[in-house]
Amino acid sequence: MSRFLDSRYHSLVPYTPGEQPKILNLIKLNTNESPFPPSEKAVRAAEEEIKRMNLYPDPECRALREKYAEVLGEGITAEEIFVGNGSDEVLYLAFNAYKEKGFAFPDITYGFYPVYAEISGGEFSEIPIKSDYSIDLNKLAATKGTVVIANPNAPTGMTVTKEEIIALLNSDRNRIVIVDEAYVDFGGESCVGLIKEYDNLLVTQTFSKSRSLAGARLGFGIANKNIIADLNLLKYSVNPYNINRATLALGLGVLSDEEYTKKNCRAIMENREHTKRELEKLGFFVLPSKSNFLFASHPKCGGERVYSHLRQKGILVRYFDKDRLRGFVRITIGTKVQMNKLINELTMLTEEL
């Protein structure tokens, strides 16, 4: 830290991204990426677009918003969509826009929420999840400020129902509820249709998971057009050209290849259920997941040991050094071959216990 840094940031603890190793041939199951490459159509579109990199991209991302509105259906229009540099950027802007009454989110959730709350200067409370690892919606509803929930939640993979979100929205129509749907395409139930009725709902989504574009950085905010105007106000005050040309082309390209996305999501869901059954046979406790990862613990072995054992064998998973999470590892769902390798290694580990 230099002596020039604003004192407001002296105690800021940044988010720790999952490891992005340089070693080749590691089976990378630690940051919830897709094991499948981006759609060929998308890659070809981006290759063409690179030739035009001398020109600034469209700050309005108009073509992409129109196409995504069409794919989302439910009467959503381009005016109800904001495009961000990953959904992280959408969340960052939203935390800055809606900080006045403070924030409430579960204590076990996406690790960026407390960081964004902190950097926004807003107060925040972390509401303990219940003993069954589900989100305590009643306690969240009883708070005053902006509520943020990931649905499915991370790192548990567990969902809340649309009815429960509706109850939360109704609990106070004068506060914003942000529903982070980063993992919704793996069996969750989207709330985007609710933005027509609820002007206090902001849904965020990403192309990093189901659409294999984590490296391109493309995320969305879907909400009433007044909320979209708030996000644009901040975006145009910071970085109007937030999405580069290649990423815009990739985004449009994947949306013209929805069959590919659906096929990949089906494969991930099948591999997830297969992996869950196999882990349970080995004595693991596995939370019911509707995402592209599993959160699992073993009664005879802490998460760190599982993580280290797998790491030695060339498989990377995520371990969280945090109360209530130390028993667990979070395992991203990869291909069938990758998951079978994981199960083989865990079979050997559990035989030693």
Cβ-based nearer residue to ligand PMP, 214 or 343 = 214
Min dist CB 289 to ligand PMP, Å, is 13
In this structure, are residues 301 and 313 in contact, taking their beta carbons and an 8 Å threshold? Answer: no
In this structure, are residues 325 and 349 in contact, taking their beta carbons and an 8 Å threshold? Answer: no
> Omega of the bond prior to 14 within 30 degrees of 0, cis?
no
327, HSE (Cβ side, Cα atoms, 13 Å):
11
H or E element that contains 124: strand 124-127
CA 343 to CA 294: how far, in whole Å? 13
Residue 132 carries which DSSP code?
Answer: T
Is 214 near ligand PMP (CB under 6 A)? Answer: yes
Min dist CB 204 to ligand PMP, Å, is 7
Binding residue for ligand PMP (CB under 6 A) from 38, 219, 251, 253? 219
Binding residue for ligand PMP (CB under 6 A) from 120, 208, 210, 212? 208
H or E element that contains 126: strand 124-127
Query: What is the size of the binding site for ligand PMP (CB under 6 A)?
Result: 12
Binding residue for ligand PMP (CB under 6 A) from 206, 289, 292, 332? 206
Min dist CB 155 to ligand PMP, Å, is 8
Q: Which of residues 44-83 bind ligand PMP (CB under 6 A)?
A: none
> End-to-end distance of the chain based on CA atoms, in angstroms?
45
> Which residues, in sequence order, are CB contacts of 270 under 8 Å at separation 6+?
none
336-352 vs 258-281: helix crossing angle, rounded to 10: 10
Cβ-based nearer residue to ligand PMP, 82 or 110 = 110
CA 155 to CA 144: how far, in whole Å? 25
Closest by alpha carbon to 183, among 14, 34, 342? 34
Considering only the stretches 22-30, 206-214, 318-326, 338-346, report the one whose residues sit in contact with ligand PMP under the rule CB under 6 A. Answer: 206-214
Is 154 near ligand PMP (CB under 6 A)? Answer: yes
Cβ-based nearer residue to ligand PMP, 214 or 234 = 214
Min dist CB 246 to ligand PMP, Å, is 16
Number of CB atoms found within 10 A of residue 344's CB:
13
Is 150 near ligand PMP (CB under 6 A)? Answer: yes
Cβ-based nearer residue to ligand PMP, 222 or 346 = 222
Binding residue for ligand PMP (CB under 6 A) from 182, 184, 222, 255? 182
- Residues 80-119, mask of contacts with ligand PMP (x by CB under 6 A): ------xxx---------------------x---------
Min dist CB 274 to ligand PMP, Å, is 23
- Report which residue's Cβ sits closest to ligand PMP: 86
Beta-bridge partners for 179: 149, 203
Cβ-based nearer residue to ligand PMP, 184 or 342 = 184
The 3-state DSSP class for residue 219 equals strand
In this structure, are residues 1 and 10 in contact, taking their beta carbons and an 8 Å threshold? Answer: yes
The residues of the shown chain that bind ligand PMP, judged by CB under 6 A, are 86-88, 110, 150, 154, 180, 182, 206, 208, 214, 219
